[in-house]
Amino acid sequence: MAPATSSVDGELGLGPDSALLVLTGAGVSAESGLPTYRGSGGLWRSHAFERLASPEGFHADPALVWRFYSERREAALRARPNAGHRALVEVERRMGQRFLLVTQNVDGLHRRAGSERLIEIHGRLLGTRCSRCRRPETTDETAYAEGTVPPCEQCGGLLRPAVVWFGEALDPAHLEAVDEFLERWRGGRLVFLAAGTSGAVWPAAGFVDLARARGAETWLVNAERADNAGRFDQVRQGPSGTLLPSLLGVSKTT
Ligand code: BJW
Ligand code: ZN
């Protein structure tokens, strides 16, 4: 019997000439036990994002912001990648350079699952950088004790989590990489697949339009109706841990 992972193309029907751009959001980590941002049980339902995920909020109360991120670091380190993360690793192994994963997630679970062709456009929960100087970002898994705000050893400024807050620019190199991928593979069978994202946050919410403009077929996998669902060709409602393996033709147990 052929291995479960090798022969099936899945509903997306990805063949050797296809290219696949995937955008993931917090819903993909929900089955790993991490909360999403919006919707029931979402972080922004119980926490004011203006105070916790903005440069102004950090300036006003850095200790409060570090408490929030320290708790989330602990949760992310406890979590394990799920079948959705693993399906994306498997499809990357098959497709090589014809595959790119762009995630809005900061939890690090795609990387821990084994994804390598990966761009983390909203940064990393387990990274720290300086709010004042250009000290290089470092990996930092520390959950700081309540009231602690770590100082920068180079300039004495306040260190902050290496995530992208509202009102902050994404790394232009990341957006260029998305554009280059679409440009490189336009003309062939190009597929854009978004999973577990509400389509509420820009610029990621507009990637579907960039992909369509390059002739991509567009697919959405989400538990509830996303804000931008009407702009996709195909919408599948349900859990990504089940739907991603079946769309991608990957065994759920890999
Ligand atoms: C499941 C599931 C399961 C559950 N299976 N599904 C254009 C128009 C309007 C506004 C703007 C615009 N351009 C920019 C803006 C402003 C702003 C913005 O988008 N605001 C909107 C809210 C209106 N954007 C920005 O500020 C961005 N910056 C920017 O554009 O800069 C421009 C600039 C240029 C030059 C100079 C200066 C500026 C930055 C955005 C940063 C977002 N940051 C956060 C926080 C990261 C750190 C942290 O974690 O604390 O990123 S906010 C939060 O939202 C986080 C996420 O990555 C992001 C997206 O959320 P996501 O992943 O979609 O999660 P949810 O919870 O919304 O949805 C989860 C979905 O999963 C749900 O629909 C569920 O149904 C589903 N689900 N279980 C499948 N098992
Ligand atoms: Zn500094």
Q: The domain 18-34+81-122+170-248: what is its CATH number? A: 3.40.50.1220
Segments of the chain assigned E as strands? 18-24, 99-103, 118-120, 123-130, 138-139, 159-163, 189-195, 217-222, 234-237
| pLDDT tens per residue, range 153-177 | 999 999 999 999 999 999 999 999 9
Q: What is the pTM of this model?
A: 0.96
Q: Parallel, antiparallel, or unpaired for β 138-139 and 123-130? A: antiparallel
Helix (H) or strand (E) holding 73: helix 62-78
DSSP classification of residue 144: P
Mean pLDDT, the chain, rounded, equals 94
Identity of residue 181: F
Q: Which residues line ligand 1 (CB under 6 A)?
A: 25-27, 30-31, 36-39, 42, 53, 104, 106, 122, 163-170, 196-198, 200-203, 222-224, 226, 239-240
Q: The domain 39-78+126-163: what is its CATH number? A: 3.30.1600.10
Atom of ligand 1 nearest to the CA of 199: 63
> What mean pLDDT comes out for the span 227-238?
98
Q: What is the distance between the alpha carbons of residues 191 and 108, in angstroms, rounded to a whole number?
A: 24
Q: What is the distance between the alpha carbons of residues 137 and 128, in angstroms, rounded to a whole number?
A: 6
The gap between the terminal CA atoms of the chain, to the nearest Å, is 16
> What mean pLDDT comes out for the span 99-110?
98
Residue 2: band (very low, low, confident or very high) from pLDDT cuts 50, 70, 90: very low
Residue 1: band (very low, low, confident or very high) from pLDDT cuts 50, 70, 90: very low
Residues of the chain with CATH 3.30.1600.10: 39-78+126-163
Residues of the chain with CATH 3.40.50.1220: 18-34+81-122+170-248
Q: What is the pLDDT of residue 254?
A: 53
Atom of ligand 1 nearest to the CA of 104: 57
